[in-house]
Amino acid sequence: MQVRSLFVAAILALSMLAVTRTAVAQDTCPPNPKPAAIPVPGKPGETGWLIQDVEADANGNKIQLWCLQSVAGPNPPAHGGPDFALLYKPAGAKDADAVWVGACTFPGGQNKPNKDFTKLPNGKPKQFTKVTWFNYEPPPNGANDWDYSYDPATGNLTLSKTTGAYFAVVDRLGRIVAIVYKSKIVATDTYPAPKNFGDIKFTNGGNTTQVTQLFPGPGGLAAEAVTAVASANGNAWSYALNVNTMGGSGTQADPFIGTLADVKAGDTFSIAAFNILAPSVSGAASDPANGGWVVDSFNSNFVTFRATADAEFLPGTQITGFGFSSSAPLGTIAWGLQSSNEAIGSQGVVRGPALPPSQLFVAGPSTSVAVGDNTSITATVQAASNDLPGIPVTFTSTTGNVTFNNGTVSPDGAATTIVTATNGQAVASMTVTKAGTFAVQVSVPGTGLSASVTVNGPTPAPTPTATPAGTLSKKRVQETRATRRIR
């Protein structure tokens, strides 16, 4: 290992404060346990495991994390596997038009997916403005990495070749407190994000490299820079921000491994919950060495905390001290960390006070569809007019004209269950299999919420009427007589 002393005052300050060090579970590729692989909707020939499907903005843009199996090619283009693969699906787009914006192409590779976004008043993402993915070689000798940055406004993917090294962070007594990876960009390529995973390439100096065919990425790990965690004592809810790790147990003999997280003054941590009262910041989170967080704004359904100072955190750091009171029952809620430093922008779901579902809104295709078309139905689940993540929604074809492509699909393809994302939406992708009008029943299990969608399909072609044997149509009779006269 390239052990060097990385001596940073802000980091050393953390070691002297009451800041917890803890590990957070990472996603793995392939998953463990490993279920049967499934087809990737809209990507013929691609199969794998859908690792995460909870991130979406208010406009309906969606981010999915897959672990793809290898493909021999040529259609779709060949690539290695199993590889982590980050998929971006624009709002309203067909599955085939979703684009690949990140990949893990190192065995045992480390991966950090993050994003930047504009936000709603409650802190939830309104629009993703940048989606990033940092893929680097594992310790101890990793020195190569790829830095992906996708711009939804232009549809362009910027891929940077970077190099780096692992460094030991030591305190004043010379004790190793963490191993961090640092890198620098050496070359950059920008092009339209590809619809085929095998088309992720890098061109520099006239030479083009198919990145997804360099190495397979089995054993890869992935975690956003930061994760929110929760605990409750009666109506008192406490939250913390965890700086995620990629390995280690946090001891001097086995220190946490990962990257540094730089919080900037003005960054915000938002929680969308219910019946919020008396939000506060205390303990480690209130210390200027940890960002000096304060309550920025809140109402009964959200609270936003704001950093007032820059701070740098080691992997494994847990910033405690965010809290509020709520009488709402336990449920799943959304959170987001919006930062001017895109490398730590994070989003997800966490335990919290949430009212039970009370509203269901369903929207289907606005135009008729044809046999073979890929279309979708969107269900939005709310309580007190606020979106609810983490709610299972069941879609059932009552006419048999469609096959569902995503979620937990029934063996015959006629039904699926999908959990709502951070924007409260469950989007069911389906393929039209027969002509004619079709209907889909949408329901929220365990509640009385249900709705139906009817979509006009193509009108079946009329069955032609057979002409009795030995007879001629009036037109044919006239043609026959005219032929006789000519002769």
Among 214, 49, 88, which residue's Cα sits nearest to residue 146?
214
Q: What are phi and psi of 398, to 5 degrees?
A: -95, -5
The CB-side HSE value for 85 (13 A sphere, CA atoms) comes to 34
Q: 401 is written with which tokens?
A: 């004209």
User: In the structure encoding, which two tokens stand for residue 374, read together?
Assistant: 């890929």
In CATH terms, are 226-353 and 359-455 the same topology? yes
In single-letter form, the type of residue at position 322 comes to F
| Per-residue pLDDT band at 464 (split at 50, 70, 90) | low
The pLDDT value given to residue 237: 98
Span 18-60, pLDDT tens digits: 456 665 668 999 998 889 999 999 999 999 999 999 999 999 9
Whole-structure pTM value:
0.87
From the list 408, 393, 2, 421, the residue with the least C-alpha distance to 183 is: 2
- The answer, yes or no, to whether residue 134 has pLDDT greater than 90, is yes
- pLDDT, mean of residues 413-433: 95
- Please say if the pLDDT value at position 5 is more than 70: no
CATH assignment of 359-455?
2.60.40.10
| Helix (H) or strand (E) run with residue 166 in it | strand 156-170
Contacts of residue 85, Cβ cutoff 8 Å, sequence gap at least 6:
48, 65, 66, 67, 68, 100, 102, 103, 104, 197
Omega prior to 140 cis, within 30 of 0:
yes
Domain edges within the chain: 27-173+182-222, 226-353, 359-455
Across the strands, what pairs with 112?
A: 134
User: Where does the pLDDT of residue 341 fall: very low under 50, low under 70, confident under 90, or very high at 90 and above?
Assistant: confident
Note whether 281 and 242 are within 8 A (CB): no
Lowest-confidence segment of 216-225, 302-311, 371-380, 437-446 by average pLDDT = 216-225
| Diameter of the chain measured on Cα atoms | 116
pLDDT value for 31:
93
Quickly list H helices, 327-472.
Answer: none
Kindly state the average pLDDT of the residues 241-252. 92
Tokens of 205: 């100096």
The pLDDT tens digits of the residues spanning 49-90 come to 999 999 999 999 999 999 999 999 899 999 999 999 999 999
What value does the mean pLDDT take over residues 311-315?
A: 96
- Looking at residue 391, its pLDDT comes to 97
**Is there a contact between 390 and 423 (Cβ–Cβ < 8 Å)?**
no
Report the CATH fold assignment for 226-353: Immunoglobulin-like (2.60.40)
> In this structure, what token pair is assigned to residue 148?
């992906």
pLDDT of 9 over the 70 cut: no
| Residues 280/331, Cβ–Cβ less than 8 Å | no
Q: Which of 32, 104, 24, 93 is nearest to 346 (CA)?
A: 24
Distance of CA 180 to the CA centre of its chain: 25
The residue with greater pLDDT, 351 or 468, is 351
Average model confidence (pLDDT) across the chain? 89
**Three-class DSSP category at 316:** coil
Residue at 206: amino acid letter: G
CB atoms within 10 A of CB 32: 6
Average pLDDT score over residue span 226-254: 95
If you average pLDDT over residues 147-166, what whole number do you get? 97
Q: Would you state the pLDDT for residue 218?
A: 78
Q: What is the pLDDT of residue 465?
A: 56
* Cα distances (Å, whole numbers) of residue 403 to 90, 306, 317, 395, 414: 22, 46, 46, 11, 6
At 121 the pLDDT is 82
pLDDT in tens, 248-275: 999 989 999 999 999 999 999 999 999 9
Tokens of 356: 């039970």
pLDDT of residue 470: 47
pLDDT, average across residues 173-184 = 93
Q: Which one is predicted more confidently, 266 or 461?
A: 266
